[in-house]
Structure 1
């Protein structure tokens, strides 16, 4: 039995390697998820990505920010684009769709330095952006399946699907050159299976089946950070200036992997140099978190309702070394950024071993922590969403990641496809797992 399994595994690997070498530009997903037509490739070049943005009625986007902004107000332009409310609270973390739209509306200087620019002629476009604020729709029109207001969200989703089905550009590529943001775990939940060919902007794959969202085509986005960025972090001794060893403040009642938060509370509470507090995202609590992260050496990042949470990016812009607890996580911009240079990783099992995390962090070498702190200061601008857009900011990075998701079978795509073939039950992350005590690194995958 084991011999046959080994032979099948070997043949599968040989087959996939052969495909990646000889027909690298062929989309293997089509063998598993049939599409109506051949793909229209998005090619990475030395020029900005040319993006055509559909002119959708405002009810699909900015009207959800202000109900007084009716759909009859005409298309959204750079002149009438509303600014995101300063008191957006926790909803800020799901506004990636807003910043992507704003970046395309911006027509100011620096076009040649941007990764994506808007074109008015769809025939000249490399990609097509669908400006439906699917995450804001969840927050605006009901949070659960039984909420009557959720039917508004369902209706908007259905209208978008019907609109795309009638678009000749969507039909031409089967949707594979269409970019659709879905950063809320429940975004587009009623109809997203019908968009499985498109490039989805997601924060993780926690709520997505394998036939919908994959590393081989989609883009992992950071959440928009909720705390304010630490712009004047330049003490003489940053290690000693941060008096708290480990900081966590957030909701401890979560689903799925997020249930670990309650268990961690029992393990970590009582340690004098650890701040672990149950909290909800109110303006005053966000201010407390901002101050607490800036005075902490390490910031804990356990899973939320899905493998990721906004807390990781709050830590990054606070220059607080993230402590990531997960067996199953995908991180934004991993093709460009090495998270092991500024983050510490623990498995779920390690984190639940009493005293293990705290003891390891207390033994963490000062010079190594200072190196991570310096690296955080160097890379934190990659996690900023802003208007006007700036080179190397979060939107710039997202458009870069969107340029050629299926031009070739990458390592991550190859491994994912192999997992599908073998019906693997565990989807491993790409990040390296750091052993804090002896600095050994071993690849998880």
Structure 2
């Protein structure tokens, strides 16, 4: 019977075993295993990175309107997209004094103050919850040196304007005459009429060239009190209305599509917390369901109390 492992003869005649392949060492096996386990995740990582970049590119193209002005810039820093829009160009109407400082003067007179003589621009607006109309007016009348970096640029030429701001103090006008207790008789008839001022304002606007141009659609009017501008709301409903809510505005007069809800800001500095609010650039506020208790007075609704 031949041997299982036949021998071969060497030059010296001695027997020589058939050469065998060396067994792989433990180190060789580990190296191969390492290469096989590392290569796949590495390829997956490259593929994932490529898909992420592609997704971000598609996201930017889908959500950032290409019609935005070329002066806009989009930057990506630390994985967060930031959009910088060009400043809005606003023309501030030079309204007759009766619609601005004249309202402040009448509010003071109705409470025992003295009549302002001459220039009334030094009059102080009485603080209350609808001071947004005063803050916006004050911002636009500041010197340009104090408005550097503002998202709103005031323009002197209406041809350059994107929006037209109408600085009528509509909420203050509403409360010029103090509310009388039901059934009481006033000592003398009021000399100020909010309804007359509303109608006079709209008549003035309807004579303006740029109001006629777009039927008021690019005009901004503050009506933050729920009853502000109620007498003429149908004549200014095309405008951008700054409101506190839509409780007394019909769907054909106002909506979230064209109008803006302005938060109350008259008590913002009375916040007693440990975190200062002076340097905050964003004012957050609650916008939810609300219920009003209404009473009828002098032919119109007046808020008696409210619950949020």
Partner of 2:140: 104
1:131 aligns with 2:167: yes
Flag the 1:53–1:143 CA change in 2: closer, same or farther, 3 A: farther
1:207 aligns with 2:243: no
Partner of 1:61: 100
In structure 1, list runs of 5 or more residues that go unmatched.
1-23, 25-41, 235-255, 261-303, 310-324, 326-445
Residue-by-residue CA offset, 1:206-241 (whole Å, 9 max, x unaligned): 01111111110001001233374236616xxxxxxx
The 5 Å alignment of 1:80-119 reads 80-85=121-126, 88=127, 92-109=128-145, 111-119=147-155
Counterpart-to-counterpart distance in 2, 1:186 and 1:138: 8
The 5 Å alignment of 1:232-251 reads 233=274
Alpha-carbon deviation of 1:55?
0.9
Partner of 2:291: 257
Alpha-carbon deviation of 1:58?
1.6
Alpha-carbon deviation of 1:111?
3.1
Partner of 2:278: none
Counterpart-to-counterpart distance in 2, 1:119 and 1:132: 19
Counterpart-to-counterpart distance in 1, 2:162 and 2:267: 33
Higher helix share: 1
SS of the counterpart of 1:52? strand
Flag the 1:64–1:151 CA change in 2: closer, same or farther, 3 A: closer
Report the TM-score, using the length of structure 2 for normalisation. 0.54
Counterpart-to-counterpart distance in 1, 2:248 and 2:218: 23
Partner of 1:48: 87
Higher strand share: 2
Counterpart-to-counterpart distance in 1, 2:237 and 2:211: 12
Equivalent residue pairs, number: 195
Residue-by-residue CA offset, 1:246-270 (whole Å, 9 max, x unaligned): xxxxxxxxxx92349xxxxxxxxxx
SS of the counterpart of 1:201? strand
**Taking CA–CA contacts closer than 8 Å with sequence separation of 6 or more, which of the two structures ends up with the larger relative contact order?**
1
Report the TM-score, using the length of structure 1 for normalisation. 0.39
In structure 2, list runs of 5 or more residues that go unmatched.
1-64, 73-84, 107-114, 276-289, 295-301
Partner of 1:405: none
- Structure 1 residue aligned with 2:209, among 165, 168, 174? 168
Alpha-carbon deviation of 1:306?
10
Q: CA RMSD in A?
A: 3.7
